[in-house]
Amino acid sequence: MKIKNIDVGSLFLAPMAGVSDVGFRKVCKMFGADLTYVEMINANAILHENVHTKKLLETKDDEDIKVVQIFGHDPLIMAKAVQSPLLAKFDIIDLNFGCPAPKIIKNGDGSALLKHLDTLASICKSCSSATTKPVTAKIRIGFESDENIAVQIAKICEQNGIAAITVHGRTRAQMYSGTVDYETIKKVKQSVAIPVIGNGDIVDIKTYQMMLKTGVDGVMIGRGALGRPWIFAELKGKKVEDKFSAIKCHVETLKKYYTDEELCLILRKHFLWYIRDIPGASKYRFELATTKNLNDSLKIIEKIYNDK
């Protein structure tokens, strides 16, 4: 699959707030993710160039194609963010029109823009006009539970310069409940000439193949990769042996940017995801959730992985 003139492969890690850090992206890349996205970044924060935002925008050299997702609701601010020096190293800019989080919605960002298609169109046009780089977008199929305007949105995006579109097959009202609407994703693919990436509920080879049947050009994995960065290898038919080494790589990568105390907080959720599906590991959850020592956390996880 190509986005404009860039070969991107077909299996992607989604931009997930508080998840898609530079360490997690590195591990997913090791296991075969063709493309990994920096988590969504507020366009206003990019313009202010604060320290936290700069850390979120850290990338590694092995991310040969660098992609960042930005969000906001002001076409002018979004376009300025696209042109920011902080984003100069990125090859592709993705626009978030799909985040369902209440704190994002209340500011008119994310999937709130599915209710304001004129503004959504203006953002697409202003951002794609502000750079020669490919600008892509991620959407949901509608805002209200009974709403399905995915094809309309996809056409608006295409007409306003968007180079590829990712469709999460749920409405904003559904959040992450119910089932993914594969039929709508298929209709979106048939309605536009730009590449379409399918997203939602890909957790194993069966659900991966179900998404591929829609005819999409690529597949994006989000929650299915939480605690399981090796899912990319599994979907490519590769056997995964040493999972604990991958966890250590995640930690060691982040050590370059954060103190051990900061890492305990940042990695706590990751550690709990890493043990989530291991029989008998639940007895260690409280200890992992409360320890303030990074080495102690790693020793617990190593024991769990060695004993399973």
d(CA 70, CA 21): 15
> What pLDDT is recorded for position 52?
87
Architecture of domain 2-226: Alpha-Beta Barrel (3.20)
* Closest among 150, 223, 232 to 191, alpha carbons compared: 150
> What pLDDT is recorded for position 121?
98
**Where in the chain are the domains?**
2-226, 243-307
Give the three-class secondary structure for 94. strand
* Closest among 55, 53, 126, 131 to 90, alpha carbons compared: 131
Q: Give the chain's end-to-end CA distance (angstroms, integer).
A: 39
Residue 62 has pLDDT above 90, yes or no: no
List, in order, residues 6 or more apart from 167 with CB less than 8 Å away: 138, 139, 140, 141, 150, 154, 184, 185, 188, 196, 197, 198, 199
Catalytic-labelled residue, pool 28, 99, 124, 157: 99
d(CA 172, CA 106): 13
d(CA 1, CA 9): 5
Integer CA distances (angstroms), 44 to 3, 49, 95, 98, 101, in order: 26, 9, 14, 18, 18
Mean pLDDT over the full length of the chain:
94
What predicted TM-score, i.e. pTM, was given to this entire model?
A: 0.94
Give the three-class secondary structure for 98. coil
d(CA 189, CA 146): 21
> What pLDDT is recorded for position 172?
96
Backbone angles phi, psi at 71, to 5 degrees: -140, 155
pLDDT digits (tens, 9 = 90+) for 265-293: 889 999 999 999 888 888 888 888 888 88
List, in order, residues 6 or more apart from 264 with CB less than 8 Å away: 291, 292, 293, 294, 297
Helices (H), 168-283: 182-191, 205-212, 231-235, 243-254, 260-275
- Of residues 289 and 307, the one with the higher pLDDT is 289
Tell me the pLDDT band of 73, cut-offs 50, 70 and 90: very high
127 is catalytic: no
List, in order, residues 6 or more apart from 49 with CB less than 8 Å away: 84, 86
Give the three-class secondary structure for 144. coil
* Closest among 213, 216, 180 to 197, alpha carbons compared: 216
| Count of other CB atoms within 10 angstroms of residue 71 | 27
Tell me the pLDDT band of 308, cut-offs 50, 70 and 90: low
> What pLDDT is recorded for position 284?
86
CB 74 within 8 A of CB 49: no
pLDDT digits (tens, 9 = 90+) for 201-233: 999 999 999 999 999 999 999 999 999 999 999
pLDDT digits (tens, 9 = 90+) for 146-187: 999 999 999 999 999 999 999 999 999 999 998 999 999 999
> What pLDDT is recorded for position 128?
98
- Tell me what the mean pLDDT of segment 192-200 comes to: 98
CB 199 within 8 A of CB 138: yes
- Tell me what the mean pLDDT of segment 251-276 comes to: 90
> What pLDDT is recorded for position 306?
84
Tell me the pLDDT band of 87, cut-offs 50, 70 and 90: very high
